[in-house]
Structure 1
Amino acid sequence: MSEPVISVIVATLGTRFTELKRMLETLENQTYKHFEVIIVLQNEQDHWSDILATYHVQTKLVITSKRGLSKARNIGLSHATGDIVTFGDDDCWYDAATFSHVVASFQTGKDVISLNMYDPDRQKFGRRQRIQTATYLTKRELMSRSSIEIFVKRRCLEANQHGPRIRFDEVFGLGGDYISGEENIFLADLHRQSYRTYFHPELLVYHAVQPRLTRLTTEQVVSKGPLFKRMYNTPTAFVLLSVFCLKKRQTKLFWKVLKEMWNYQPRGER
């Protein structure tokens, strides 16, 4: 049996030269060698062809004038040929054994797995560690996942007996109508088709952890209503939104967020 191939999809504006080079170096140093790197460059000026040629990894450079993180990732998916796909940011990086551990997990029958985000310089995790042992995540727990932590079998994303094709909802994510939540919707759509996410707290993807901001922007708060409605349904979204606004002390924005949620009509890949 041939070894599974991993497609690493990286959406970038191409301006983080130092960070993207670091990522490519850690990919070059992987002990598991069966992977391809798909760079989706959201910039019509190509600064990367010559740079990529200096690395001993299989790369594809896709240039697009379209902006939006979810759009770029969907474009990357259309070029992916691997058995497993993951969505790296241009400023994340990996331990040399990461891909070997990922493949070993998939060989035990998993369809979707999540790693843990960790900053080795600050020695901090990307979020509070509420889950300490490897386990399948509930739908609610998918809200705490980051896109760079996700690995999924590509066959699960195509139309099959479980349901329609799954892609990132382009209404959500940087450059979309709502600035975040695209990875949570992506995992929720997989969960809806019975593809559950298995969390490995001990397997890490590296990324700088910024100091936590205690004040949410209005844009971030307003996006929660549509996000909850997209992931669940209107009654459940109303309850979740009410709890969120109370917990985050955002009651002054409640009616504005509720109106946004009410007006939002889910669309895109379901």
Structure 2
Amino acid sequence: MRKKILMLVSLAMIFAAGGCQNTVGPVTEFFEIIEPKVDSQPFTALEQPVNDTKIIFRWRGSDLNFKYSHRLMRFDNSGRLVDYTLFTEFSSKTDVIFENLNEGTYRFIIIASFSGQEEKREIQFEIDAVSNASLTFYKLFTEAEVNKPFNLKLWCEGVNNIAAGDVRLFFNKDYLEFLGVSKGDEVTKTYNLEEMIISDPVDSVNSNGILNITFGIFGTLQSSPVKDFSGSGDIMILTFRPKIAGKTEVEILNNAVINGIGEDFPLAIPYRGQIEIK
């Protein structure tokens, strides 16, 4: 009899342990991206490029108490993934619109948090809104602060053998003060080319909000056999100081660019640089 009682107690303990294992443990929640429509894999790359400078992301979770944080990253011309925006604070917001995006490949990263658990999704996409060789700004949209200088890159997209040119720019002198111009990173660092830049005197520029720049790109021993600039990248860097809060623009009024054998190389001017000053 004693053996039977011990056996029954042992079976009861095993059953109880099994029951606890079936009822205790984390419950897996989920969230999904609903725009653009993608599968539920941790990483997804959109098959088709986005033919616009704007993209919208919308998502939803299986519980109203979900909180979300997201960031946007961009591949630079050397293939490195760099920050475009930093992670936001966790909130219940379920959509975001990115506007004025430059050409290139981006990665959107979103983290959903619920009851101490987190789940991440990554979506890679390409912005391909410019069909012709063009001269534009990077970034197309810049957030700045009063009295804190910032850089705005003058950016060539899809060019071939650019050697020299003249560019005229306009900005609102009530909002911005021009501080100077420097050589482009892409020209000097990636291609090892030498660049000469001549611009109007700073005082003259700030008195009327018009900036004229002449530039020339030259081959060097380090850059041989490359003698001029092809591809996409910044050809110069403009530095401004915001004077008052508000929204303003920097505009390319016209340009005259030639290639390595002296032929005119027309560049489209598709977008203005948008500046929001806080």
Indicate the TM-score class for this superposition, using the shorter chain for normalisation.
under 0.3
Larger Rg: 2
More helix by share: 1
More strand by share: 2
Structure 2 length as normaliser, TM-score?
0.25
